[in-house]
């Protein structure tokens, strides 16, 4: 980047580490949702990272399945991981990657005792029914068609927020009953269809579901306190199937 600018979504050092395929990992706040994003494309990593940060997630972005396993401590060479340091609430991975595909990464995660409960979402630019089925059968939580949009990420976010403590009851517009800590599971999740949007799709609505719309990462600390616990089984939404695009 020629320009350094003022505050940018990714500090130059972040961009460099993301660019070099390094592991960008900020100190973990246990109250925040932490997402591990895996994509070999730098452009896609930057975009998914921004999408996730805008929805109040902490993000670690890596450029390969191997680095993801390394980060999770699932590669055989490393010593056992410091489990209390590592809290991953969601793993979102591209399908087509050189070396290890997203599907192979999914399998490895589901084979691990530490991380098999973590929801894994697959992203792909290709709407191949067999591929989608295989991933869902292997335990993927969801399948997103690229290019990923804010609405897709918001939907993912919604099934991560099971126990939501609201410090300020007015902050969130989700229909959470006041006398309960749990998220109303009858939330209308009406997801958009998993197709590439045509030009006639409705204009993007502002981020009204979440309390920190389009805030810079600096604001994230004061956001909702989430008590999501990875060991609980996630609410399984309806398996998202892409309508066939012939």
Partner 1 sequence: MNTAVARLQRQFQDYIVSLYQQGFLDNQFTELRNLQDEGTPDFVSEVVSLFFDDCAKLIKNMSRSLEQPENVDFKQVDSGVHQLKGSSSSVGARRVKNVCISFKECCDVQNREGCLRCLQQVDYEYKVLKTKLQDLFKLEQRILQAGGTIPQVDI
Smallest distance, partner 1 to C-beta of residue 44, A: 5
Is there binding between residue 221 and partner 1 (CB under 8 A)?
A: no
Q: Using the 8-state DSSP alphabet, how is residue 82 labeled? A: -
Stretch near partner 1 under the rule CB under 8 A, chosen from 38-46, 187-195, 221-229, 234-242: 38-46
Q: How many Cβ atoms from other residues are within 10 Å of residue 197's Cβ?
A: 14
Q: How many CA atoms lie within 13 A of 24 on its CB side?
A: 25
Can you tell me which of 22, 23, 31, 50 binds partner 1, judged by CB under 8 A?
50
DSSP string for 158-199: HTT-SBEE-SSTTT--S---TT-SB--TT----PPPSSPPPT
The residue within the footprint of partner 1, chosen from 208, 214, 227, 245 (CB under 8 A), is: 214
Residue with tokens 């997402």: 35
Residue 9 binding partner 1, by CB under 8 A: yes
* In contact, 124 and 160? CB cutoff 8 Å: no
* Residue closer to partner 1 (CB basis): 16 or 129: 16
Q: Which stretches of the chain bind partner 1, using CB under 8 A?
A: 1, 3, 5-10, 15, 41-44, 46-47, 50-51, 54, 96, 98, 125, 146-150, 197, 199, 201, 203-204, 214-219
């Amino acid at each position: 980047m020629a320009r350094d600018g003022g505050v940018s979504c990714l500090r130059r050092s972040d961009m460099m580490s993301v660019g070099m395929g390094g592991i960008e990992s900020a100190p973990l706040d246990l109250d925040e949702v932490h997402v591990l994003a895996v994509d070999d494309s730098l452009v896609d990593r930057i975009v998914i990272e921004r999408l996730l940060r805008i929805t109040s997630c902490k993000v670690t972005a890596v450029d390969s399945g191997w680095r993801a396993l390394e980060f999770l401590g699932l590669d055989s060479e490393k010593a056992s991981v410091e489990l209390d340091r590592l809290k991953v609430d969601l793993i979102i991975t591209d399908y087509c990657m050189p070396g290890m595909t997203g599907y192979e990464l999914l399998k490895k995660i589901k084979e691990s005792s530490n991380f098999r409960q973590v929801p894994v979402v697959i992203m792909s630019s290709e709407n191949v029914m067999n591929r989608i089925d295989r991933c869902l059968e292997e335990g993927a939580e969801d399948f997103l068609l690229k290019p990923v949009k804010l609405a897709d990420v918001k939907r993912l976010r919604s099934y991560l927020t099971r126990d939501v403590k609201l410090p300020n009851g007015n902050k969130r517009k989700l229909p959470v009953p006041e006398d309960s800590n749990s998220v109303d599971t009858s939330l209308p999740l009406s997801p958009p269809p998993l197709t590439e949007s045509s030009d006639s799709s409705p204009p993007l609505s502002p981020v009204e579901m979440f309390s920190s719309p389009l805030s810079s990462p600096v604001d994230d600390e004061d956001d909702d306190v989430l008590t999501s616990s990875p060991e609980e089984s996630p609410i399984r939404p309806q398996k998202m199937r892409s309508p066939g695009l012939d």
